[in-house]
Amino acid sequence: MRIQAKRLLLLVLVLASAVPTVVLAASDYSLFGDATLVSPGNASPTAVQLRSSETVPPKFAGVAFDIPAGTTFAEIHNISSDYEFIAGSCGGGSPRFQINLTDGPNSGNIFVYLGPSPNYTGCPPNVWLNTGDLAAPANLVDTSQLPLGTFYDPYASAQTRYGSYTITGIQLVVDGYWFAGTQTMLVDNVMINDTIYTFEGVHSCKEDGWQQFTSAPGPFKNQGDCVSYFSRNK
């Protein structure tokens, strides 16, 4: 069954160099729509809450990730995220990663849906899950916005066809209020290639948050040690 995803207006992103390990600074991603930082995350102090509600404007939410200028689709070899639904469920083409591509004459998105294939509905509530690598060769993606694209397109085939296209942005979007009434999802530890977006910062050290860093970039000796780390690594 083909899912008709609502198309979010493409964002104009300022591209920045990505750090090849753990990305923590706010300049490496930006929140839009009804997106907020919340606590706790998945075995960490901080996650991002993305909400799409029929009654709460603007009815969509997302995270935009900075991608190094000139990156091509062929260079994207890993996409994954931890996620938890706390209201509603997946469906209606939401949530999804949007990979914005252009080769000059042709521009469009490749949509990478989260949730159980093939309909991407029925995500269980109140449990943290991991998508696995959505850039695995056999994983199905939606390339229907691009020339010769299809709704169910193996990632390997998509890379063969559109590998030379330049990436102008990548977002993780929730906008399925029309399908579920309300979709509210937490996301943490988003991975794009070798970069992990953990959404942590100095704010994560407060109120004993420093004690929750049991793995990299922790553990920390105390709150001051935690604050010092994030201050040095903005």
Distance CA 78, CA 60 (A): 25
**Cα–Cα dist 120/134, whole Å:** 13
**Average pLDDT across the chain, whole number:** 87
The pLDDT, as a whole number, for residue 12 is 27
pLDDT digits (tens, 9 = 90+) for 36-90: 999 999 988 899 999 999 999 999 999 999 999 999 999 999 999 999 999 999 9
Domains and CATH numbers, the chain: 22-200 (2.60.120), 203-234 (no CATH)
At residue 36, what is the residue type?
Answer: T
Q: How confident is the model at residue 234 (pLDDT cuts 50, 70, 90)?
A: low
Strand order of the β-sheet with 29-33 is 29-33, 61-65, 166-174, 96-102, 107-113
Give the global pTM: 0.82
Dihedrals φ, ψ of 101, to 5°?
Answer: -125, 155
**How many C-beta neighbours within 10 Å does residue 207 have?**
11
Bin 86: left if φ > 0, else alpha if -120 < ψ < 50, else beta. alpha
Which residue type occupies 230?
A: F
At 22 the pLDDT is 42
Q: Over the stretch 163-215, which tens digit does the pLDDT of each residue have?
A: 999 999 999 999 999 999 999 999 999 999 999 998 988 888 888 888 877 77
